[in-house]
């Protein structure tokens, strides 16, 4: 699909059957994309690990210029790429689930040059192209896009309404400088440290003592970063992330619990993710570990251990945390899973990948509402009355 040629040749609009055939060919081509391993759980782990490592590199670069004057364009591009990555990850995981099955025995897999390259091409080659294509076809099915074919070259291009494109650009810009609390801004701040200059505010930002202690405690042993989760330090991070949001009223009720419970569990998850990233990234840098802990950057835990860690950080009973973890597990109660909504990815029997950058770069309140509507539309509709009469803030 391409832009029309400049010479004056009448273009032929594709019929519905032509578009259906085109869409089928795009699906078929994506289905042939190579996967990093022949077994489902290990393929998911490699996909998540490589994705997190590449987003980590993007984050490091963004943090270098985040607070500089006139950096809004770079911030907007960073947010856009993070958002696009979520679509890429969704299609990559879905492809693995369609093509692969779990092995009889789950064997440990390591990251090597081959599976790293295959996963990279899957995420940012095949899945990226497929994500763009599916959005164009979705726009076509919504009567917002038309397909045309050049009768001479045979090139097909899509013509989307200009207003639709403007709204898409506006959404990125609004998300770039939002005044609402955002774990993404906390994440960028962590990667700007230990000390950084903020010209707009004419002040110096720096890590807290707790963050210094977390990084100091990370040790290198046998070419791996080892760290212990200290409750006191994790609680400091928890307090930073446990902020209210204007999106969700506390009276809203999810199938897995109320808003205060959900907010506390997500804040504990954010704290766990930040603790892990600080330990692995900065621990590997200070010890000159080659690859910056690449094969450890995606946290992996047994489901029961994750529940216990979140309960320990939040101070909430495990029996209340467990339903939230279950709801956030990829593929639970839905045939159309989305890692932006359910970011805990099964990578073994009762074992979960916890992709920290994916989790910390997402809008948890908005995503939980979307997840609620997807897994339990009747209870979502029944709860929607709490939004009636609430003012809407437009920036």
pLDDT tens, residue by residue, 49-60: 999 999 999 999
Beta bridge partners of 160: 145
As a whole number, the mean pLDDT across the chain is 88
- 160 pLDDT band, cuts 50/70/90, is confident
DSSP string of 85-104, one letter each residue: HHHHHHHHHHHHHHH----S
* Over residues 47-75, mean pLDDT: 90
Output DSSP code: residue 329: B
- Least Cα distance to 209 among 187, 236, 235 occurs for 236
Of 42-46, 164-168, 240-244, the range with the highest mean pLDDT is 42-46
Look at phi and psi of residue 176 and say left if phi exceeds 0, alpha if psi is from -120 to 50, else beta: alpha
Instruction: Assign 180 to helix, strand or coil.
Output: coil
pLDDT tens, residue by residue, 95-126: 999 999 998 766 678 999 999 999 999 999 99
Distance CA 347, CA 20 (A): 34
- 181 pLDDT band, cuts 50/70/90, is low
Cα 44 to Cα 212, 270, 330, 347, 359: the distances in Å are: 33, 21, 11, 6, 16
- Looking up tokens 């621990």 gives 283
- 382 pLDDT band, cuts 50/70/90, is confident
Q: Where are the domains of the chain?
A: 1-177, 180-386
Residues 6+ positions from 154 with CB-CB distance below 8 Å: none
Q: pTM (2 decimals)?
A: 0.89
pLDDT tens, residue by residue, 247-272: 788 889 999 999 999 999 999 999 99
The pLDDT, as a whole number, for residue 193 is 81
Look at phi and psi of residue 329 and say left if phi exceeds 0, alpha if psi is from -120 to 50, else beta: beta
């Amino acid at each position: 699909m391409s832009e029309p040629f400049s010479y004056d040749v009448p273009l032929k609009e594709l019929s519905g059957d032509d578009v259906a055939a085109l869409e089928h060919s795009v699906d078929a081509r994506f289905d042939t994309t190579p996967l990093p391993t022949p077994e489902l759980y290990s393929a998911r782990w490699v996909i998540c690990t490589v994705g997190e490592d590449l987003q980590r590199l993007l984050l490091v670069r963004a943090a270098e210029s985040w607070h500089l004057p006139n950096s809004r364009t770079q911030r907007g591009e960073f947010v856009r790429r993070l958002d696009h990555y979520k679509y890429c990850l969704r299609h990559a995981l879905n492809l693995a689930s369609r093509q692969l099955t779990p092995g009889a025995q789950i064997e440990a897999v390591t990251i090597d040059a081959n599976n790293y390259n295959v996963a990279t091409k899957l995420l940012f080659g095949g899945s990226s192209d497929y994500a763009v294509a599916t959005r164009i076809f979705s726009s076509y099915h919504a009567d917002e896009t038309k397909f045309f074919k050049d009768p001479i070259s045979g090139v097909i291009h899509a013509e989307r309404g200009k207003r639709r494109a403007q709204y898409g650009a506006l959404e990125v810009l609004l998300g770039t400088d939002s005044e609402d609390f955002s774990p993404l801004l906390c994440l960028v701040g962590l990667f700007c440290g230990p000390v950084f200059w903020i010209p707009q505010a004419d002040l110096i930002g720096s890590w807290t003592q707790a963050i210094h202690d977390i990084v100091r405690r990370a040790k290198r042993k046998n070419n791996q970063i080892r760290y212990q989760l200290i409750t006191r330090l994790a609680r400091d991070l928890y307090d930073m992330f446990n902020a209210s949001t204007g999106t969700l009223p506390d009276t809203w009720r999810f199938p897995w619990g109320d808003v205060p419970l959900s907010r506390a569990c997500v804040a504990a998850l954010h704290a766990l993710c930040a603790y892990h990233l600080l330990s692995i990234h900065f621990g590997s840098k200070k010890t000159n570990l080659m690859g910056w802990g690449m094969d450890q950057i995606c946290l992996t835990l047994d489901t029961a251990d994750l529940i216990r860690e979140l309960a320990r950080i939040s101070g909430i009973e495990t029996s209340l945390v467990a339903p939230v973890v279950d709801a956030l597990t990829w593929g639970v109660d839905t045939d159309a899973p989305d890692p932006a909504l359910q970011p805990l990815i099964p990578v073994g029997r009762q074992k979960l990948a916890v992709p920290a950058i994916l989790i910390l770069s997402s809008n948890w309140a908005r995503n939980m509402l979307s997840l609620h509507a997807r897994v339990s539309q009747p209870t979502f509709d029944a709860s929607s009355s709490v939004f009636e009469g609430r003012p809407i803030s437009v920036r």
